[in-house]
Amino acid sequence: MNDNQKGILYAFAAYGIWGIFPLYWKLLNHVDSLEVLVSRVIWSFVFTFIFILIIKQRHLLMEDLKSLWQNKKLFISLLAASFVISCNWFLYIYAVNNDHVVDASLGYYINPLITVVFGMIFFNERLSKLQLCSVLVAFIGVLLLTFGYGKIPWIALLIAFSFAIYSALKKKITLNATRGLVIETLFILPFGIVYYIYIMSTDKMSFLHFSWQTDVFLILGGVVTAYPLVLFAKGAKLLPQYVIGFIQYMTPTIVLILGVLLYHEPFTKTELVSFSFIWLAILLFTISTIWESRKRHILHQKTVNSEL
């Protein structure tokens, strides 16, 4: 198996696991969404930190922390990113456990397009005409959904924007994925512990108070958070960015199928028309990305050949 095949396997595994996340979080729909989030943060930190110790990267983790502390701008950016991704996790868990799986799917469909717009606004990245067209088409899809619902699809938009903000904040932070997750969850860890102390005092805690199955699922929430991230990091190193960009739509597609077929959430003509616009936007965006990537590759080859 060559590197490209390994990369595709890792990427499909990562996005496949992220796609079936609703199956996991539904097992905890009797637990308050905020407790599920806090538990996810705490156990993600525990398991990823243990993993760092096992692979003997503790000294690299300390170097990462020292480097961040010395660069206050990066430190604040990662701190902010930690809070934003925690909000994103909460919104996703809340959506799944309150019958908004289709909304969560919509959020992750439009997220890459919002990320592209952020790149244009905050990082002076240039978009091709086809990419701009894809963003406009997606915007029309969201507008149609808004008018169809008679209200703004807040959950989908908050999921999309929170992850786009997270991506923007982390754009210039070059951290190993696993060590980065340790640090991000470390920032939120004190708040998680304080929250658990609070719900312990109010008898609202499910952990250790409901069933052993609930306890196991809460604990393993840390594993299901960390493992696909490790797979993604391995895949991203072996694949071109446009391939990763294409495979990422596997996640919201699986989520959408689960929401409609398994959880029987409504998918009316309004949703179908709106999603069709968004799917068209994704198709246009993907074609443009592949085209631009090939143009850069051809230009690079010509430059190399001329130098030879």
Give the model confidence (pLDDT) of 139-176 as tens digits.
898 888 888 878 888 999 999 999 889 888 887 777 87
Q: Contact 238/7 with Cβ under 8 angstroms?
A: yes
Look-up of token digits 């908004």: 100
Closest to 222 (Cα-Cα) out of 251, 167, 174, 184: 184
- One-letter identity of residue 78: L
pLDDT at residue 236 greater than cutoff 80:
no
More confident residue, 244 or 70: 70
Instruction: Determine the Cα–Cα distance for residues 60 and 49; give it in Å rounded to an integer.
Output: 12
Q: What backbone torsions phi and psi does residue 235 show, to the nearest 5 degrees?
A: -65, -40
Per-residue pLDDT tens for 247-271? 888 899 999 999 999 999 988 888 8
Indicate the DSSP class of residue 263: S
Percent of the chain with pLDDT over 90: 44
Q: Which residues, 6 or more positions from 20, have their beta carbon under 8 angstroms from its beta carbon?
A: 254, 258
Residues in the chain, total: 308
Weakest mean pLDDT among 62-76, 107-121, 291-305 = 291-305
What's 207's DSSP letter? T
Classified as helix, coil or strand, 101 is helix
Encode 170-197: b = buried (16+ Cβ within 10 Å), e = exposed. Answer: beebebebbbbbbbbbbbbbeebeebbe
Per the structure, the complete domain to which residue 70 belongs is given by 3-307
Domain count within the chain: 1
CA dihedral 101, 149, 271, 283 (to 10 degrees): -90
From 229, 222, 227, select the one nearest 38 (Cα to Cα): 222
Euclidean distance between CA atoms 275 and 282, whole angstroms: 10
pLDDT interval class at 242 (50, 70, 90)? low
For the whole model, what pTM was predicted?
Answer: 0.87
Which tokens hold the place of 172?
């210039």
84 has pLDDT over 90: yes
For tokens 């952020």, the residue is 118
Span between the terminal Cα atoms of the chain, in Å: 32
pLDDT in tens, 100-146: 999 999 999 888 888 888 888 888 877 778 888 888 888 898 888 88
Give the distance from CA 163 to its chain's centroid.
Answer: 6
pLDDT at 300: 65
What SS3 class is residue 205? coil
The overall average pLDDT reported for the chain is: 87
